[in-house]
Amino acid sequence: MNNQDILARSLRAVWHPCTQMKQHETLPLVPIARGDGVWLTDFDGRRYLDAVSSWWVNLFGHCNPRINAALKDQLDRLEHVILAGFTHQPVVELSERLSRLSGLGHCFYGSDGASATEIALKMSFHYWRNTGRPQKTRFVSLQNGYHGETVGALSVTDVALFKDTYAPLLRPSAQVPSPDWRLAAAGESARDFALRCAAALRAHLERHHAETAALILEPLVQGAAGMGMHDPEYLRQARALCDEFEVHLIADEIAVGFGRTGTFFAHEQAGIRPDFLCLSKGITGGYLPLSAVLTTEPVYQAFYHDETARGFLHSHSYTGNALACRAALATLDIFEEDGVIEANRAKTAFFNQAAAPLQAHPRVKNFRNRGMIWAFEVAGAAPGFARRFFEAGLQHGLLLRPIGDTVYFMPPYVIGEDEIRMLVAGTLEILEKI
Ligand SMILES: *Cc1c(COP(=O)(O)O)cnc(C)c1O
């Protein structure tokens, strides 16, 4: 196998995600033969630093020896078993541990992030139906929010490029103003802006609470919006308003969970607990597709009944896959054994220091950081900026995928100091060219 061979075969045989395939007439695919830590290597030995954690999923590097070992062990015990009517050790242990970490429970599994969103939306609606409030059928989400791209998840997503084409297929949902600080008035603090957006949420719920089942949001960082960050005060306000108006709060921590924002879960920074917690992406350390929704005892009890139809009759074939659960357990082991949340604080501080020249760069606007996420907008970005930046990144041995004119870093947590320096230096060089 060589680079050219696999590129041609991939273009013939594979329909790549989130891609206008015709663009590959001029933009070559990047073939990857192997991974090691933060590095991806092609068939000719060219290396790329994976600064986006392979679409925000990787936590502890590619081919992590500890996760590999756990998976090899699991492979010889049990790869998968139907989870309806059956159970197994990895799924039980993982559910117990996620429950201890979140204070929620009754872990329901899906395969991808979007399926977790679907599960949370359906469960919320069904809870209200089971408790005599069948008119609560609507959802509210934040402007520029992203919750996945299956039809139900896309209905609460607010990204025009992904949504507009499919609008006739979607259920209408309401969007309220996003507390993303980039949208604040000049001179307005993040907290004041959060309070102003919370007032808009209140106004919406005052009018629509009777038909609203849930508010779904991405706590602290709206990823697909271009790493839009908000003050935790918004989450405290949202929690209080959801309580006041009897609306569920769904925390979509698919991207921000598992330490990404500096705490194990992002919502911890607001001192709140959601009614539903959606997890995926980093849950398996970036190894295998797995998602989970955790909820509260009252929600669970509303489904617990003699009548079958009051149960949550939702399933995916690979629900609770044993290999994926074992990868997740190995990932949680690394968090515990290595004190990852603490260690990442030092890493974040180092990164911020190393990135000072970027922050001071005349074209860099809104330089921001939360936990292991950094982002900034580039002034004077011409059309096609994201693609040209991506291509220049590859030439510098960096895998970076700007969103519009937003450049972001979301590296695996195992990134080292030299690699951080290389990432910053490469980005500065690219900024001179693009
Ligand atoms: C990625 C993402 C999803 C969708 O997850 P998939 O696994 O891509 O379906 C949903 N919500 C958020 C916040 C995400 O970042």
Please write the tens of the pLDDT for every residue from 350-376: 999 999 999 999 999 999 999 999 999
* Pocket lining for ligand 1, CB < 6 angstroms: 112-114, 117, 146-148, 218, 223, 252, 254-255, 280-281
Measured in Å, residue 149 CA sits from the centre of ligand 1 at: 8
Pick from 141, 149, 229, 254 the residue to mutate for probing ligand 1's pocket: most ligand atoms within 8 Å of its CB.
254
Q: Which one, of 342, 406, 404, lies nearest residue 373 by Cα?
A: 406
Residue nearest to atom 10 of ligand 1 (CA): 147
Measured in Å, residue 356 CA sits from the centre of ligand 1 at: 31
Residue nearest to atom 5 of ligand 1 (CA): 113
Report the interhelical angle of 322-337 vs 65-75 (nearest 10°). Answer: 140
Residue nearest to atom 15 of ligand 1 (CA): 255
In the chain, the amino acid numbered 425 is A
Measured in Å, residue 58 CA sits from the centre of ligand 1 at: 14
Measured in Å, residue 426 CA sits from the centre of ligand 1 at: 28
Neighbouring CB atoms inside 10 A of 240's CB total 14
Q: What pLDDT tens digit does each residue of the chain (434 aa) get?
A: 788 899 999 999 999 999 999 999 999 999 999 999 999 999 999 999 999 999 999 999 999 999 999 999 999 999 999 999 999 999 999 999 999 999 999 999 999 999 999 999 999 999 999 999 999 999 999 999 999 999 999 999 999 999 999 999 999 999 999 999 999 999 999 999 999 999 999 999 999 999 999 999 999 999 999 999 999 999 999 999 999 999 999 999 999 999 999 999 999 999 999 999 999 999 999 999 999 999 999 999 999 999 999 999 999 999 999 999 999 999 999 999 999 999 999 999 999 999 999 999 999 999 999 999 999 999 999 999 999 999 999 999 999 999 999 999 999 999 999 999 999 999 999 999 99
In the chain, the amino acid numbered 52 is V
The C-alpha atoms of residue 387 and residue 393 are separated, in whole angstroms, by: 10
Note the pLDDT of residue 3. Answer: 86
Report the interhelical angle of 190-208 vs 233-245 (nearest 10°). Answer: 10
Task: Go through the domains of the chain in sequence order and give each one's CATH number.
Answer: 32-63+339-433 (3.90.1150.10), 67-338 (3.40.640.10)
Residue nearest to atom 7 of ligand 1 (CA): 113
Pick from 56, 147, 222, 316 the residue to mutate for probing ligand 1's pocket: most ligand atoms within 8 Å of its CB.
147
The C-alpha atoms of residue 253 and residue 218 are separated, in whole angstroms, by: 6
Note the pLDDT of residue 2. Answer: 86
For 331-392, give the DSSP string.
HHHHHHHTTHHHHHHHHHHHHHHHTHHHHT-TTEEEEEEETTEEEEEETTPPTTHHHHHHHH
The minimum-distance atom of ligand 1 relative to the CA of 252 is 13
Q: Which two tokens stand for residue 190?
A: 């993040």
In the chain, the amino acid numbered 294 is L
Neighbouring CB atoms inside 10 A of 34's CB total 11
Residue nearest to atom 12 of ligand 1 (CA): 147
Pick from 52, 58, 141, 146 the residue to mutate for probing ligand 1's pocket: most ligand atoms within 8 Å of its CB.
146
Burial of 413 (0-12, 13-18, 19+ CB in 10 A): buried
Residue nearest to atom 6 of ligand 1 (CA): 113
The C-alpha atoms of residue 282 and residue 398 are separated, in whole angstroms, by: 21
Measured in Å, residue 45 CA sits from the centre of ligand 1 at: 31
The minimum-distance atom of ligand 1 relative to the CA of 281 is 7
The C-alpha atoms of residue 246 and residue 237 are separated, in whole angstroms, by: 14
The C-alpha atoms of residue 183 and residue 177 are separated, in whole angstroms, by: 9
Residue nearest to atom 11 of ligand 1 (CA): 147
Measured in Å, residue 410 CA sits from the centre of ligand 1 at: 15
Q: Which residues, 6+ apart, have CB-to-CB distance to 410 below 8 Å?
A: 51, 52, 53, 56, 227, 260, 372, 373, 374
Report pLDDT digits (tens) over 175-217.
999 999 999 999 999 999 999 999 999 999 999 999 999 999 9
Residue nearest to atom 8 of ligand 1 (CA): 113
